[in-house]
Amino acid sequence: EQIRSFVDAGFDHVYIHHIGPHQAEFIEFYRKEVLPHVA
């Protein structure tokens, strides 16, 4: 919902940065759980 609010406001680039360990797991989660809702 938070990402969608930026898209709806007209942003065409939204950067998400993970600052912890387990980068691969974060990317997989993002691919499965977040992108389908904003793509």
Q: Are the CB atoms for 18 and 26 separated by under 8 Å?
A: yes
* Res 32: pLDDT: 96
* Tokens linked to 27: 């990317």
Listed by start position, the domains of the chain span: 2-38
- Check whether 25 has a pLDDT greater than 90: yes
* Res 11: pLDDT: 93
pTM assigned to the model:
0.63
Distances (CA, A) of 6 to 20, 21, 24: 24, 26, 25
* Res 9: pLDDT: 95
Alpha helices by DSSP H, 1-39: 2-8, 23-29, 35-38
* Res 7: pLDDT: 87
* Res 27: pLDDT: 94
